[in-house]
Structure 1
Amino acid sequence: MPALPVQPRDAFLASRPAVLAKGPLAILLVEDGKAVERTVQHHLDLGFRHILLMSDQPQDLPETMAGRVTQLSHDCRRPAAHVNAVNAVIRAVAPGTWLYYAFNAEFLFFPFCETRSVGEMLAFHTEERRPAMLTYVIDLYAPDLKAAPDAVDPDNAMFDRAGYYALGRRGADGQVRERQLDFHGGLRWRYEEFLPADRRRIDRIALFQAAPGLTVTADHRFSVEEYNTYSCPWHHNLTAAIASFRVAKALVTNPGSRERIGDMTWRHSHRFDWSSQQLMDLGLMEPGQWF
């Protein structure tokens, strides 16, 4: 398979190419070579108009993807690599453009995504006057680390069906933030001793509309507080989920944890069937008023 040419990120964004004229657009940050093609294909199948693939290494992808994927140079291995990348795209697109960001080996799911496109879903969300959408990052992991030592096994993926909880979020002033919660669970909860406190949350505002002056933070929140809310004041809104091998990869790679984890499965491990209905049945995403 040919490698996609790598274009200078800033020069490409400054040129305001036609592919940025209309969303939804996906920003995928490539931290390593795990499941890159599968990640890209999954998001193309969801209906994203174009994917900006951020990487400092050329990625070998099928020629059929070339028209909907642009690879841009970006070092995704440095801490908080998403901040500079996402904020650069926000500045480059028109206000109101829907954007999404995630990493390789992460897969977006939203209610009824098997039969409805991401554009249809975001059109409904826009009608509800919501400029952003809460996503829960659901950790995936291999059931057998001997067979898959990198913890990535999409065909046999497991996830936790229990152990999720939320805590009220307080601002710098000590006051509880309205309609904001810190969500926890999955591998980040079970192996919290190996993760810094600021990386234990599983909530991420991964879908949002670009706006002048808007910026994302290192902890996956935004500079506009309304973007960080889970719903409007009147009723429950749509939420989505990101099925992610990212934490599992880190746990079996990092020196502080890799020798102490022999098996990630436990009594609440369950086979992931790659369906939105499974996630809705377990309360891991919310259809809101969308039926």
Structure 2
Amino acid sequence: MRYGQLDDFLAQCRAAPVRGPVALLMAEDDVELARTVDHHARAGFRTILLLAHPALDLDEETAARVQRIDHDPFAPDALVAAVNRLIPAVSGQWLYYGYNAEFLFYPFCETRTVGEMLAFHTEERREAMLSYVIDLYAGDLGRFPNAVSVSEAMLDRSGYYALARPDPSNHGHPKERQLDFFGGLRWRFEEHVPPDRRKIDRIALVRARPGLVLRRNFTFEQEELNTYACPWHNNITAAICSFRTAKALKSNPGSRHEIPTFLWRNSVRFDWTSQQLMDLGLMEPGQWF
């Protein structure tokens, strides 16, 4: 199914509600787009919405797996604005949002569906899930000049840290159970990244309901949704393994020629398993075993 604009899809939602969980993917280009759709379909998302420029071509298999919505991916805050418009239309469903060349991982995702994971999270009375955007990059930029290689993907095994998140409404005191997380390429090459784009935390899974508002920094106006744990114990967290930062650093004129390699002493090969991410402390199962 293809819709000429987001309004057309929202009108369809009023007539026939979509099935969840829902994945909203924005295609900034065609890099690993088919693989991105395939990854999230295999995870168990029952509806995959693809926001894409009208001129972007899809292969038949990918087109059959998504509900495509023509959209300008380079409009200001394009994804955030789309999420905020979509939330009321999918009220009651779990919603994930991300970009092409980004792959959602959660604990034990090889053997358990995203629906099973979210059912457990819901039983713990959680309405959102913290995720960390973990930068992936090609080790050999000579062979992979756009920094994207699924077969030879690398990630940083260390260099991640968290800072207290100040609350402007409470004299700058730290917000309860909230932290700002940093690391990866945005930390190592921070001179090429605007300060407001350096965080790697994203509230990327949320149970939609009317009134929720996603902010530009990928947190919600409803503060409890931004917490990493409930008051009584830690909860599941997820990881979004993403080539997006590496791709941007090697395509932007200001950084393209300044970075001969992304490799450093703490680079390791990504084996595309949730166990590796848990072993590195990049996500945790909470009480889910």
**DSSP 3-state at the match of 2:145:** coil
CA distance in 2, matches of 1:17, 1:145: 47
TM-score by length of 2: 0.95
**DSSP 3-state at the match of 1:290:** coil
Give the corresponding residue for 1:193. 191
Cα deviation, 1:200-258, whole Å, max 9, x if unaligned, reads 01000000011211111111011110110001010010000000000001101111111
**DSSP 3-state at the match of 2:86:** helix
CA distance in 1, matches of 2:43, 2:15: 21
Contact 1:29 1:54 in 2 (8 A): yes
Give the corresponding residue for 1:167. 163
Structure 2 residue 25 is the aligned partner of structure 1 residue 46: no
Cα deviation, 1:146-189, whole Å, max 9, x if unaligned, reads 11111111110000000000000012231210000000000010
Give the corresponding residue for 2:234. 236
Give the corresponding residue for 2:217. 219
Give the corresponding residue for 1:209. 207
Deviation of 1:78 (Å): 2.8
**DSSP 3-state at the match of 2:117:** helix
Deviation of 1:66 (Å): 4.6
Deviation of 1:7 (Å): 3.0
Contact 2:165 2:175 in 1 (8 A): yes
Identical amino acids, percent of aligned pairs: 61
Deviation of 1:6 (Å): 4.6
- 1:79 maps to a residue whose letter is P
TM-score by length of 1: 0.95
Contact 1:135 1:240 in 2 (8 A): yes
Contact 2:3 2:9 in 1 (8 A): no
**DSSP 3-state at the match of 1:155:** coil
Deviation of 1:19 (Å): 6.8
CA distance in 1, matches of 2:49, 2:109: 21
Structure 2 residue 38 is the aligned partner of structure 1 residue 28: no
Contact 1:241 1:284 in 2 (8 A): yes
CA distance in 2, matches of 1:25, 1:232: 24
- 1:77 maps to a residue whose letter is F
> Using a 3 Å threshold, how does the CA distance of structure 1 residues 150 and 67 change in structure 2: closer, same or farther?
closer
Listed as ranges, the matches of 1:243-282 within 5 Å are 243-282=241-280
Deviation of 1:58 (Å): 5.0
Structure 2 residue 119 is the aligned partner of structure 1 residue 123: yes
Deviation of 1:17 (Å): 6.2
CA distance in 1, matches of 2:284, 2:277: 9
Contact 1:6 1:58 in 2 (8 A): no
Cα deviation, 1:37-64, whole Å, max 9, x if unaligned, reads 0000000000000100001135544544
> Using a 3 Å threshold, how does the CA distance of structure 1 residues 36 and 65 change in structure 2: closer, same or farther?
closer
Deviation of 1:79 (Å): 3.4
CA distance in 1, matches of 2:141, 2:200: 23
CA distance in 2, matches of 1:249, 1:229: 29
Deviation of 1:81 (Å): 1.4
The alignment of Structure 1 onto Structure 2 pairs a total of residues equal to 287
CA distance in 2, matches of 1:15, 1:269: 46
Where structure 2 has 5 or more consecutive residues not aligned to the other structure, the ranges are none
- 2:189 maps to a residue whose letter is Y
- 2:28 maps to a residue whose letter is E
Give the corresponding residue for 2:137. 141
- 1:69 maps to a residue whose letter is V
CA distance in 2, matches of 1:136, 1:57: 30
> Using a 3 Å threshold, how does the CA distance of structure 1 residues 8 and 280 change in structure 2: closer, same or farther?
same
